[in-house]
Amino acid sequence: MTDELTKFTMPKWGLTMTQGMVTKWLVEEGAEVEAGEEIVEIETEKIASVAESPASGVVRRHVAKEGDYVPVSGLLAVIAGPDVADDAIDGFVESFLGSFVPEEEEDEGPEFQTVDVAGRPLRYLQRGEGGDPIVLIHGFGGELNNWLFNHETLSQDRAVYALDLPGHGGSSKDVGDGTLASLAAVVAGFADGLGLSKLHLVGHSLGGAVAVELAASRPDLCASVTLLAAAGLGAEINTGYVDGFIASDRRRALKPFLEQLFADPSLVTRQLVDDVLKYKRLDGVDGALRSVAAGMVADGKQAVSLRDRLAGLTTPVQVIWGTGDSIIPVSHADGLPDGITVHRIDGVGHMAMMEAASEVNKAIASFTG
C-alpha cells in the first residue's frame, strides 16, 4: 500500500464518450482496494460497465456521488494510504478541480482510419504502439466499437487494432460472396496492408469464425487466437435472433433482439438501439447482412463447422464464453481439442467483452503475454 495520492478518474470508453454517470459505488469510503478491483458502476449513453481502481490503497474520498454526471477524465475518487492527512486529500481534490479542463477542450486522441483492401475501404482504429499487435474482430451486425471496454486497456504495452468487417460499421458494404473465407482474406489483406505480422487475433462470434479461418489459411500471420462465443463450433444457433436483427427496421422491433445479446437486458440503452438502427439504414447494409448470414446459417443451423480447422491450428488458442449466452450455446466450448484453454463466465451473455470486460481483458492480456 502506498502513501501517495492517486486520482481515480472517469474512463473514456469509445471515441464519442464525453461523460458518464456514477450509478453505484461498489466500495465505501475508507475501504481497502487492490489495483484492478472493480469499485464503481458507470453508465454511459451507450451502455453501463464497471471501472477498476488504478492503484492499491484506501478509497479516501468519493468525489463524485451516485447520480452525478462526470466528464471524461474528471475526478471520481482519491485513493491513498490510511496515514495520509485529510488536509492533504482536501488540497489534492481542490487542486485537481481548479485546474481540470474537460476533454472536449483538449486533444481528442486517436481517430478512425481507413485502409484499402482489394479496392474496398476498411475502417479501423489503432490504440497503443509497438509489440506483437492484437487485432479485434467483431461479430455479425457489430462494429469496432463493440470493443470500447477492451481496446484501450489492452493497448497499454502494444498496438491494438479494431476493424470493421466488410458490410459493417464504417467499412465498405461490399462483402463479395459473403463467405467466411472471403472475410478472412479481407482481414489478411488488412494486416498485409499495414505491414502487420505475429497477430494475436481476438474474434467474437462471427469474428471468432473469421479468426479460426485466418489462422488456418495464413498461419504465418498469427501468434495466438482468442475466441469469444465463436461461431462455427457447433450446429445450434439462435436463428430467430439472426433473422430478427436483419428484418427489424424500427426501434420497438429491434430492441428485443438486441436485448438477447446480454444476460442483463437493461444494458441496452436507447442510444445503443438508435446507433444500430442508423447503421442498418445505410445503403447496402441489408444485402450485406443477408449475404453473410446465408453463408453462416442454413436450415436453422450453423452452416459452417470449424472444429477440424481448430484442431489443425499450430497457434495457441483460448476460448471465452458466457454461460448465459442465448445466441450460441456455451456447450459449444465442450469437447474442444486438447491444449485449448476454456474460460466460462457465469451470468454473462453473448457479449462477454462488454458484460465482463475486466475478466475478458485479463484473460486476453495473460494469454498474449
Question: pLDDT grade, residue 14 (50/70/90)?
Answer: confident
Given a cut of 60, whether residue 108 has pLDDT beyond it is no
Q: Within the chain, which residue ranges are assigned CATH 2.40.50.100?
A: 6-105
Listed in order, the ranges of the chain carrying CATH 3.40.50.1820 are 113-368
Is 109 a residue whose pLDDT tops 70? no
**Confidence band for 1, pLDDT divided at 50, 70 and 90:** very low
56 within 8 A of 5, measured Cβ to Cβ: no
Q: Give the chain's largest Cα–Cα span.
A: 69
Radius of gyration of the chain (CA): 21
Look up the pTM and report it. 0.87
Give domain 6-105's CATH number out of 3.30.1540.10, 2.40.50.100, 3.40.1710.10, 1.10.510.10: 2.40.50.100
User: What is the CA angle 315-137-127, rounded to 5?
Assistant: 100
Place of cell 467483452: 353
Q: What percent of the chain has pLDDT over 70?
A: 97
Q: Per-residue b/e over 300-329, b at no fewer than 16 CB within 10 Å? A: eebbbebeebbeebebbbbbbbbbbbbbbb
Class of domain 113-368: alpha beta
Torsion of CA 137, 360, 38, 141, to 10 degrees: 30
Q: How far apart are CA 56 and CA 53, in angstroms?
A: 7
Phi, psi of 351 (to 5 degrees): -95, 60
Give yes or no for residue 20 having a pLDDT over 50: yes
pLDDT value at position 106? 45
Q: Are the beta carbons of 262 and 345 closer than 8 angstroms?
A: no
